[in-house]
Amino acid sequence: MKLLKAQYDIRGPVPQDVIRPVPFEKPVPGPGQVLIEVLAAPINPSDIMTLTGDYGMLPPLPAVGGNEGVGRVIELGPEVRHPAIGQVVLLPVGSGTWTTHLLAEARSLLPLPDTIDPRQLAMITINPPTASLLLTEFVDLHAGDWVIQNAANSSVGGYLIQLAKIRGFRTINVVRREAAAEAVRKLGGDVVLVDGPDLRKQVRAAVTKGEIRLGIDAVGGEACDRLASCLATGATLVNYGRMSGESCQVSSQSLIFNDVRLIGFWLARWFQRASQPEQMALFSDLTRLMAAGALHAPVQATYGIEQIQEAVAAAAAGERDGKILLVPQGGAG
């Protein structure tokens, strides 16, 4: 099999134009290393922003795309005993996962069960932890509490709906178009609304006297302000994305008179400060839920590394009903 990696030497406004498949020789694992055959790797919004130069943390060039994925160990370096050959593992964050094969330090790998669809496992590093932590890090929620989020049809939004339901929380899910609403309802969203100037009125009609102490914004701009207007006095609004391309806007009414707290969240920062046991506990919980079929995400299409430009274009286009994945060993689907 031909070994390929998706490499970019420059960054630019059209992400698919800066990346290309590049052949390479099979690497030999050194002491403490293993060679991994990549099974699946997603294309996330942060990956697209890395290609355009708009993300908060950029690797030196040239670079191989991809920040997460799952693979199978196929060769061990000298004196390496674990993980064993054939073991499915979570790839290290930021290791350039858009490739057919990669080298990794054995001690950095998290073993995973081989009974779970690798396409689902490939998405476990970024979006599920983001959704889980958004629900637990900022407000002490209890069963029956309301949470409101926009971009509810996004990958994080879908995981958040599933995790909230498991934990007994109720979700108000805001989308930008009616066509996206049905998919969110099928995932288990309790209330699904289309964003607009009357969002606060729609929300009050849906929750009647219920208070919303946690809002989750992935859009920024005026959409952030509309979420803030729906929250209870003293509530927390967490922003983790900028899908509109605009900075957050929150009115003085919300910030001053309603005492709404606006705070940002970046998963990379959480990984930097979280202990290894904390990270392992989070991934163990998410893996358990995924194995039980309680946590999953729709997949729009899969591509091989040789189709990287087409895959990136599809991921950057938006208006999708599922994730774009690279499946180096299986190609398009």
Write the single-letter amino acid at 228.
A
Q: What's the longest Cα–Cα distance across the chain?
A: 65
Going from the C-alpha of 123 to that of each of 39, 120, 129, 309, the distances in angstroms are: 12, 6, 10, 20
CA angle 144, 148, 150 (to 5 degrees): 150
55 among known catalytic residues: yes
Give the CA count within 13 Å in the CB-facing half-sphere of 275. Answer: 3
The token pair at 310 is: 């087409």
- Can you tell me the distance from the alpha carbon of 127 to that of 114, in angstroms, rounded to the nearest whole number? 21
Going from the C-alpha of 299 to that of each of 23, 105, 175, 216, 250, the distances in angstroms are: 27, 29, 19, 24, 34
Catalytic residue among 55, 159, 240, 303: 55
Catalytic (active-site) positions: 55
